[in-house]
Amino acid sequence: MKANPWITGMLAVTACTGCMHQKASAPALKAKATGTAIVVVSGDKQLGGIGARLSQPLVLQVNDDQGNAVTGAKVDLTGPRGVVLDPAEVLTDDNGQATIKVTLSGIPGRYEVTASSQDAHGKPFTLSVAEFAAGYQQEVGYEVNEKYCSRCHNPDSTVEQVSNYDNLAVKPHAFTSGDIYNKLSESDLSNIIEHGGPAMNRSALMPPYEWTLNKAEIQAMIAYIRLVSDPPYMAPGVVYGKH
Amino acid sequence: MQTHKTGIISSIKAFVRDPFRMFGIVSVVLLLLLTIAPAKDYFSQWHGYQRQYLRFIQNRGDAVTLRRHFEGGIQQIWIPQLGVVDRCQTCHLGLTEASLADVKEEPFRAHPVMPHKLTEFGCVICHRGQGAATTVKEAHHSEMAGEEPILPARYMESSCGQCHQEPLEGTPKLNKGRVILSRYGCVNCHSIVLPDGTKMEASDNPPPLTHIADKTTREWIYAWLKDPTSYSASATMPNFNLSDADASDISAFLIANSVPQPGDTAEVSAESHGPAPDPSAGASLYGESFCASCHATQNAAGNLVGGDLGPELTNVGTKVKPGWLVAWMRDPQKYDPKTPMPQYRWSDAQLKLISAYVQSKTNPDLLANVHLAAATPAQIAHGKKLVIEYGCASCHEIPGVPKSDNFGPNLSRIGSKPVVQLVFLPGMEHTLPAYLAQKIRQPRSFGSSFRMPRYNFTASQVDEVTTALLALTDRSFSLPANLQLAAVHETNYRPAGQAGQIMTSLNCLSCHRINGRGGDMAPDLSWEGTSVQRQWLDDFLKNPNTLRPALIRRMPRFNLTDSERTILTDYMMTVYQTAAFQRDEMPLTGYPPELVEKGRQLFYSKYACQSCHIVNPNEDKGYIGPTLTKVGARLNAAWIFHYLKDPQALRPGTIEPNQHMSDDDARALTAFLMAQKTGAGQGAKR
């Protein structure tokens, strides 16, 4: 089947105008100083809704080789398609920090935002920061986690919600520990959630939720675990035999 | 010109004279005309997407399956009773293909998991847009009259709210938005009638301003009106952007209009001659009385700590007059019959202590620069005019100013407001959600003559309110009856008799829910009589020792007299019972030791209850559920048994997992728990 010349043509035109538009709108920022490393101050690994701006801005800092903040260093930001970074290039302020508002795209998943800058010799250095966009399922999973799971699985205590983590003889894993959860398949995870730890030869301190949560909520919880997992979770591809 | 004409005429003549040639040419023209229809179809946008899809799946491992599922041509979901004609699947070809869930680009991505089937409701009921359209632009972005653009994903929960007026577990944003609409009093000015004919009710508690001069000064009112957040960071009253003169006039009117009420200012003076109390005693009484369960204060780090049922108290000493504060704490309902604050029954000495402590929470900077000249009658008259103009009486009770219904526009169908009827700001996205969000964020940005005040909402709260408003659509009124799921309204339950009077003065329903009415801070008491033993309840009311030490919101001690306590205990034990089973169907004592031992084993090994509960204080550490060290002296055996069998049936929403226990296991665990009477961890040694 041949490519439809009309659509290809239209796409090409749109792409070109898109490029031109982007080039035209970017004002030229000149670095006034240079550093050697970018570090995150705050705003990484946030969970936001799809297509929504993250509640906290991403704050980055450029340091020199002594670890001191550098004022006036230029930071360029790039993200995957659909992620809006405002501003996309910025000079660090008096504290050596750059503040960027991040709006995630309409598709749930993990988004890597890359910040790059150049040192005195023009050699680039970069930093990747992960942000998470939660779709409907992940949002429901987040609520399930907040109500049931995080009481034990989140080791951090707050005044409003005291964590039970320290009281447990066998410690549960935080949902961000990808090296644990990524090895478990969907059915392993739903097994543990539905039938409790002993179903998978794990601790009985994990109770069964088969009769407390419904199937959709359990699926949503798994979707949430997959979203926040670090290192990121890679879904196994579909494997078929040769015909 | 002439030559042209003759040329055409001669060629027509030649044409007519030669029928063979004429036939040939006309056939070719007709043939060309005939190809227009298939060509138009072939080059149509949706056809392009279908070809693109076929190329896209070609290289995938599951190409054969996807190919088999593919059907060319216009695809349509038709649901006559909902008026749905959706052709979205013509281009969105992967919607039902689970294996395409990882596709990162539209239009071939699988639809995420959702509670309904695609064929049940179609697409536009949730996503809006024009279902019958077959071009991308018309389906998604049309702004024409009677048509609506696609709803951005972040507001998607609003679509659930068209049918579901009741709160759903899966729509946290919508639920929160609806709570804000009543909690922040939006519905005091804007009436919202739900499809079931009921009106959304406000749940904020704006104080009456009838006796305001007894409570506070004109200077404070002025500062508060100018910017409520300068007094308290968590103020729910919005900012009206008043000029200095207007704020001054309104404060003058409110003070002049206030009617003094006997008993509003208090009489602790007789006792105030006593020795000065220990300064820390007030703070400890504040702590012991668990004022922080409802009232927040800012700590040194600037964070708010405490509940939001009552106003923030960080700077309250700058606001209230000392005499009024004492009278208020003695009997809050005298000043405001609708207040959620309980009557604590403090002694005069305690009243003096606590009021002095609360009065000491001041911010001298707040009123330092407020100097108001004495009010003139003209100012007062202008103040009254402003109070009427700004609709203050929609929320507050003000003598001489009647409450006007429908002060703001009715919002019952705001979610279907056509874009053509809206006036947008330059540079704004031309969509209803964008308009609503901006209107909530900065109401006056649309013009300084607008009366709507600015609320102190966070970005996520703005999203939540917008979501709740977008759910109020025309469609929600025209749905078939089986799809109109009614809102859950509070009942008008009031406890009766003598006990009812005590409970009203204690405002039990501010925190506890009973028979479908009341707050959600504390446990539902509808079946408390079945749940607990009489002696325990009596002791608890005397001195409420917490069952959950990890909570910061706790039941205060109300200094009840012995007879008040007996009346309350008798009433609760008799009236608040479940019909599901008998309180006394299992004995409180006398379980055989082997059964207790079996229960112990089940508790520690099979069900691992110690992960959340404490039975033996020396060994167990579980902190999530209530402490069970003395549970045998607190709960009835039958309650424990039935609770273990199905926790959510007796306490809806509890996080205790339902373990689907057998009767034998539940009976053994009940025996073990009923053996825990004195807190020594009987039979709990491992």
Nearest to B622 among A143, A159, A167 (CB): A167
The nearest alpha carbon in chain A to B608 belongs to A205
Rg, chain A, Cα only: 22
- B197: domain CATH number is 1.10.760.10
User: Among residues B454, B483, B512, which one ends one of the domains?
Assistant: B483
d(C-alpha A207, C-alpha B48), whole Å: 52
Q: Which tens digits make up the pLDDT trace of A105-159?
A: 888 888 999 999 988 888 899 999 999 998 888 988 999 999 999 989 998 887 7
User: A162 falls in which pLDDT band (50, 70, 90)?
Assistant: confident
d(C-alpha A111, C-alpha A108), whole Å: 9
pLDDT at A17: 46
Residues from chain A that touch B606, judged by Cβ atoms under 8 A, are 204
User: B47 falls in which pLDDT band (50, 70, 90)?
Assistant: very high
Distances (CA, A) of B351 to B67, B279, B359: 79, 14, 12
Residue B387 lies in a domain: no
pLDDT at B146: 75
Nearest to B165 by CA among B194, B142, B137: B194
d(C-alpha B528, C-alpha B644), whole Å: 16
For residue A213, which amino acid is it?
L
Average pLDDT, rounded, for chain B: 88
- Record: contact B605-A137, CB cut-off 8 A: no
d(C-alpha A174, C-alpha B94), whole Å: 34
For residue A26, which amino acid is it?
A
**Helix (H), strand (E) at residue B188:** helix B186-189
- Record: contact A49-B463, CB cut-off 8 A: yes
A205: exposed, middle or buried (Cβ count in 10 Å: 0-12, 13-18, 19+): buried
Q: Are residues B366 and B273 in the same domain?
A: yes
Q: Are residues B227 and B192 in the same domain?
A: no
Nearest to B51 among A1, A139, A240 (CB): A1
B460 touches chain A (CB under 8 A): yes
Nearest to B61 among A109, A164, A238 (CB): A238
d(C-alpha A36, C-alpha A126), whole Å: 9
pLDDT at B216: 92
Most confidently predicted of B298-307, B482-491, B667-676? B667-676
Comparison of pLDDT for A74 and A5, the residue scoring more = A74
Q: Are residues B197 and B219 in the same domain?
A: no
Pairing between β-strand A109-118 and β-strand A124-134 as defined by DSSP bridges? antiparallel
- Record: contact B104-A139, CB cut-off 8 A: no
Nearest to A235 among B102, B606, B623 (CB): B102
d(C-alpha B217, C-alpha B362), whole Å: 14
**Residue A4 pLDDT > 70, yes or no?**
no
**Residue B268 pLDDT > 60, yes or no?**
no
Q: Are residues B71 and B117 in the same domain?
A: yes
Domain that holds residue B559: 498-575
- Does domain A31-134 sit in CATH 1.10.3720.10? no
pLDDT at B276: 60
d(C-alpha B593, C-alpha B596), whole Å: 5
Q: Which tens digits make up the pLDDT trace of A186-211?
A: 899 999 999 999 988 888 899 999 99
Q: Which tens digits make up the pLDDT trace of B163-219?
A: 999 988 788 889 999 999 999 999 999 999 999 888 998 888 889 999 999 999 999
d(C-alpha B102, C-alpha A56), whole Å: 27
| Contact map slice: B 104-123 vs A, CB within 8 A | 104-106, 109, 112-115
- Record: contact A167-B623, CB cut-off 8 A: yes
- Record: contact A164-B611, CB cut-off 8 A: yes
Residue B680 lies in a domain: no
Q: B193-199 long-range contacts, Cβ below 8 Å, gap at least 24?
A: B193/B410, B193/B412, B194/B165, B194/B412, B194/B486, B194/B487, B195/B165, B195/B476, B195/B477, B195/B479, B195/B484, B196/B165, B196/B484, B196/B486, B196/B487, B198/B486, B198/B487, B198/B489
Residues from chain B that touch A159, judged by Cβ atoms under 8 A, are 305, 552
φ/ψ of B616, rounded to 5, equals -100, 105
Q: Where exactly are the structural domains of chain A?
A: 31-134, 136-228
User: B623 falls in which pLDDT band (50, 70, 90)?
Assistant: confident
User: B145 falls in which pLDDT band (50, 70, 90)?
Assistant: confident
Token readout for B591 is 């379980």
Average pLDDT, rounded, for chain A: 83
For residues B189 and B391, the answer to whether their CB atoms sit within 8 Å is yes
Q: Are residues B374 and B226 in the same domain?
A: yes
For residue B155, which amino acid is it?
Y
**Helix (H), strand (E) at residue A219:** helix A215-228
- Residue A49: CB partners within 8 Å, gap ≥ 6? A104, A133, A134, A139, B153, B154, B173, B463
The nearest alpha carbon in chain A to B169 belongs to A140
d(C-alpha B372, C-alpha B503), whole Å: 43
Residue B363: how many other CB atoms lie within 10 Å: 18
**Residue B223 pLDDT > 90, yes or no?**
yes
Comparison of pLDDT for A8 and B435, the residue scoring more = B435
For residues B660 and B647, the answer to whether their CB atoms sit within 8 Å is no
Nearest to A125 by CA among A88, A66, A73: A73
Token readout for B384 is 């009254």
Residues from chain B that touch A239, judged by Cβ atoms under 8 A, are 61
- Does domain A136-228 sit in CATH 3.40.50.300? no
User: B274 falls in which pLDDT band (50, 70, 90)?
Assistant: low
Q: Are residues B317 and B372 in the same domain?
A: yes
Q: Which tens digits make up the pLDDT trace of B497-543?
A: 999 999 999 999 999 999 999 988 888 999 999 999 999 999 999 88
Total structural domains within chain B: 6
pLDDT at A2: 45
Q: How far A97 CA sits from the closest chain B CA (Å)?
A: 23
- Record: contact A51-B658, CB cut-off 8 A: no
- For chain A, helix, strand, coil in percent to 5 are 30, 25, 45
User: Among residues B457, B483, B509, which one ends one of the domains?
Assistant: B483
Q: Are residues B175 and B95 in the same domain?
A: no
A137 touches chain B (CB under 8 A): yes
Nearest to B608 among A52, A205, A235 (CB): A205
Token readout for B36 is 């227009």
Residue B399 lies in a domain: no
For residues B95 and B118, the answer to whether their CB atoms sit within 8 Å is yes
pLDDT at B500: 94
% chain B with pLDDT above 70: 96
Q: Are residues B230 and B368 in the same domain?
A: yes
Distances (CA, A) of A58 to A32, A93, A104, A115, B65: 22, 14, 12, 11, 43
d(C-alpha B48, C-alpha B371), whole Å: 73
Q: How far B552 CA sits from the closest chain A CA (Å)?
A: 7
Q: Which tens digits make up the pLDDT trace of B533-590?
A: 999 999 999 888 777 766 777 888 888 999 999 999 999 999 999 999 999 999 998 9
φ/ψ of B675, rounded to 5, equals -80, -10
Q: Are residues B191 and B216 in the same domain?
A: no
Q: Are residues B321 and B348 in the same domain?
A: yes
Q: Which of B66, B169, B293, B627 to mutate to test the interface with A (most CBs of A within 10 A)?
A: B169
A235 touches chain B (CB under 8 A): yes
User: b/e string for A163-185 if b means 16 or more Cβ within 10 A?
Assistant: bbbebbeeebebbebbeebbebe
Q: Are residues B136 and B73 in the same domain?
A: yes
- B313: domain CATH number is 1.10.760
% chain B with pLDDT above 90: 51
- Record: contact B48-A167, CB cut-off 8 A: no
B671: exposed, middle or buried (Cβ count in 10 Å: 0-12, 13-18, 19+): buried
For residues B162 and B154, the answer to whether their CB atoms sit within 8 Å is no
**Residue B332 pLDDT > 80, yes or no?**
yes
% chain A with pLDDT above 70: 86
Q: Are residues B331 and B252 in the same domain?
A: yes
Residue B490 lies in a domain: no
First to last CA, chain A: 22
Please identify which residue in the block is written with the tokens 């060290």: B629
